[in-house]
Structure 1
Amino acid sequence: MTLQQLAYFVAVADVGSFTRAAESVGVAQPTLSRQLKALETELGAELVDRGGRDGPTLTPAGEALLPLARRMLTDAAAARRTVAEIVGLRRGRVRVGATPSLCIGVLADVLRVFHEQYPEISLELTESGSQPLEAGLVRGDLDIALVIVPPTGVDPALHTEPLLRERLSVASPAAQHPAGRGSINIRELARRPLVLPRRGYDVRETTLRAFSEAGLTPRVAVQGGEMDAVLQLVEAGTGFAVVPDLVFAGRPRLRRTVLNPPVYRTVALARRADLTPSHATTAFRRTLLDFLGDLTAAGGFAGEVLVLPRRESG
């Protein structure tokens, strides 16, 4: 049982609709439904009757849980405020960096949760490729960043903490089905028009390296866009793209097909090794790790994304 699950349950009880409850807490409706189902499984009882003509209603078990859930959420908020005042989290700033695909797939929800927990801390977001983000950390322009670990490793001036191991898959329009039975190899992909993101994206370099190692030249239809533009071009039928599994969530117009052999990447949390992180930065790291743990426990990731074992960091 998590506080997030309880918050979703209370939201459904308050508005009487899964869709409006998801909107009120700022998540996709399938995510809220999965978390609520996980809570029911944990407690061993159905909390919401989903078959009513007037929308979802609480079962007797749900009615019994509701006041307890409200009290637990209130106590948790009070605990956060008390600790925040002690450790200086009533004010401050966290400058966060992330790649565009991670902004789409993870960070937006994490920033929302962090702002709810620490509303007086200023959040500044920089969205860019991993190499510019690493440079920003080294210069001191960023406090912490989600970056992709390249084969050569990251800048030695940085402390990195691996978080996710994520598969790259082929995105195609949902109306089309690429060659192969549930998978596609690089030779088959070479016969398809390809959409590539701009230079600086690790996924672009990984894609081109896979073609080069196979002795093939891709048929590039469009290149140079940001990740969201790449996905929209694929949805429109312009071509196929190699993208991280995280970006498929909430995009029904995209079909995900596994690359064979598979290609993976490691996502890490990075900061300057020679600087002691502020209380606010440490709190952001903790919020991120808790969110990832809750999400993977509820099966909330699209595709194959493995949350790596966490370790304590100063």
Structure 2
Amino acid sequence: MAMKLEHLRSFEAVARIGSFTRAADELFVAQPSLSRQIGALESDLGTELLRRAPSGVTLTAAGEVLLPIARRMLGDARTAREQLDELAGLRRGSVRLGAPPTLCVSLVADAVAAYRAAHPGVELHITEGGSRFLVDALNEGALDLALVVTRSAQPAAPATELIPLLSEELVVVSAASAGERSGAGRRELTLAQLASVPQVAFSRSYDLRVATDAAFAAAGLTPTIAVEGAEMDAVLRFVERGIGVAVVPAMVVIDRPGLHSRRLVRPQLTRTVNLARRTDVGASAAASEMQRIIFEAVDRLATPGTELAQRVAVASRA
């Protein structure tokens, strides 16, 4: 039995989008042709993969089993093509990088800017999500590299290597114009003091929200929530407007004059940022170059004499 990559690509698109019509539009094929490809794949495998219904398309049990396998096969085929593209000297190709939103507004932005300046012909695709989602996407072949956050236990996944990049403090940010209101004049806040200050809280899907909720619960504290459920950009904008304070990683404050940060103490909360990569598939030249540029961006964050250097500790990669 030989599964064609074209058929797997069509299956993955329909499974992801949940619609034959929209999947055909994305793949630039006619819908009858797409349906024939799915039918040929089901015939080859001798089982139904997708259920068609007026409300949309869903996976059968066999489809659930095939989907991650198909994504890995498509990712491996893409890696093979990119390794051949190395002959072009990084004048073309692409890199798929995943990262949590808290890193996309800091470390990832610096790395992407440096990469584009050095290799403008390489396409960059960024996926935002939680660390567990990103590790799964990496193992399914949907990403080349991912930046993931850990605190105690590392997310276990087959064929995945985590390279620690840095340890970073979580800080409390408020509006730079807040003056002495809501404790803004203090250089430090304890967790108990923070609990009484109105906060702008992230969506519960954020790793950061999970960590802060766990810290308050462990201390027997109930935080004062002004606004809840916001995404990264909205949280920072709400804080700049003086609606409340927020707990964010130290790197988020870089180049944001509208924010004032204070250390969070007793307890101090930290997180480790790691580079995740697969060990069972060789990286393309474009992905290897992204890794190198990320390492350089991390090293710049801890430049001696800067305030950030006091709150970020770069991990040894020797």
Q: Does 1:224 align with 2:229?
A: yes
The CA distance in 1 between the partners of 2:296 and 2:175, in whole Å, is 34
Aligned partner of 1:161 in structure 2 is 163
Task: Read off the aligned partner of 2:284 and give its amino acid letter.
Answer: S
Q: Structure 2 matches for 1:186-197, cutoff 5 A?
A: 186-197=191-202
Give the TM-score normalised by the residue count of structure 2: 0.66
Q: Structure 2 matches for 1:1-314, cutoff 5 A?
A: 88-157=89-158, 158-174=160-176, 175-177=178-180, 178-179=182-183, 181-261=186-266, 262-297=268-303, 302=308, 304-311=311-318
1:18-74 Cα offsets, whole Å, 9 max, x none, are: xxxxxxxxxxxxxxxxxxxxxxxxxxxxxxxxxxxxxxxxxxxxxxxxxxxxxxxxx
Task: Read off the aligned partner of 1:159 and give its amino acid letter.
Answer: E
Query: In 2, are the aligned partners of 1:147 and 1:267 still within 8 Å (CA)?
Result: yes
Q: 1:228 to 1:300 in 2, by over 3 A?
A: farther
Deviation at 1:98, TM superposition (A): 1.2
Deviation at 1:250, TM superposition (A): 1.8
Task: Read off the aligned partner of 1:216 and give its amino acid letter.
Answer: L
Query: In 2, are the aligned partners of 1:163 and 1:269 still within 8 Å (CA)?
Result: yes
Task: Read off the aligned partner of 1:283 and give its amino acid letter.
Answer: E
Query: In 2, are the aligned partners of 1:246 and 1:301 still within 8 Å (CA)?
Result: no
The CA distance in 2 between the partners of 1:253 and 1:88, in whole Å, is 42
Quote the sequence identity (%). 41
Query: In 2, are the aligned partners of 1:87 and 1:279 still within 8 Å (CA)?
Result: no
Mean Cα displacement is larger for which, 287-296 or 112-121? 287-296
Query: In 1, are the aligned partners of 2:107 and 2:297 still within 8 Å (CA)?
Result: no
1:78-127 Cα offsets, whole Å, 9 max, x none, are: xxxxxx97574232211011111211111112112112222222111112
Q: 1:296 to 1:260 in 2, by over 3 A?
A: closer
The CA distance in 2 between the partners of 1:135 and 1:186, in whole Å, is 33
The CA distance in 1 between the partners of 2:141 and 2:86, in whole Å, is 26
Q: 1:300 to 1:127 in 2, by over 3 A?
A: farther
**What secondary structure is seen at the aligned counterpart in 1 of 2:201?**
strand
Task: Read off the aligned partner of 1:199 and give its amino acid letter.
Answer: R
1:256-303 Cα offsets, whole Å, 9 max, x none, are: 111112111100001223222111111110111123224433656736
Work out the number of aligned pairs and report it: 228
Query: In 2, are the aligned partners of 1:171 and 1:234 still within 8 Å (CA)?
Result: yes
CA RMSD of aligned residues (A): 2.1
Task: Read off the aligned partner of 1:155 and give its amino acid letter.
Answer: A
Deviation at 1:145, TM superposition (A): 1.0
Mean Cα displacement is larger for which, 201-210 or 179-188? 179-188
**What secondary structure is seen at the aligned counterpart in 1 of 2:106?**
helix
Would you identify which runs of 4 or more consecutive aligned residues in structure 1 move more than 6 Å?
A: none
Query: In 1, are the aligned partners of 2:301 and 2:312 still within 8 Å (CA)?
Result: no
Give the TM-score normalised by the residue count of structure 1: 0.67
Query: In 2, are the aligned partners of 1:168 and 1:243 still within 8 Å (CA)?
Result: yes
Deviation at 1:248, TM superposition (A): 0.8
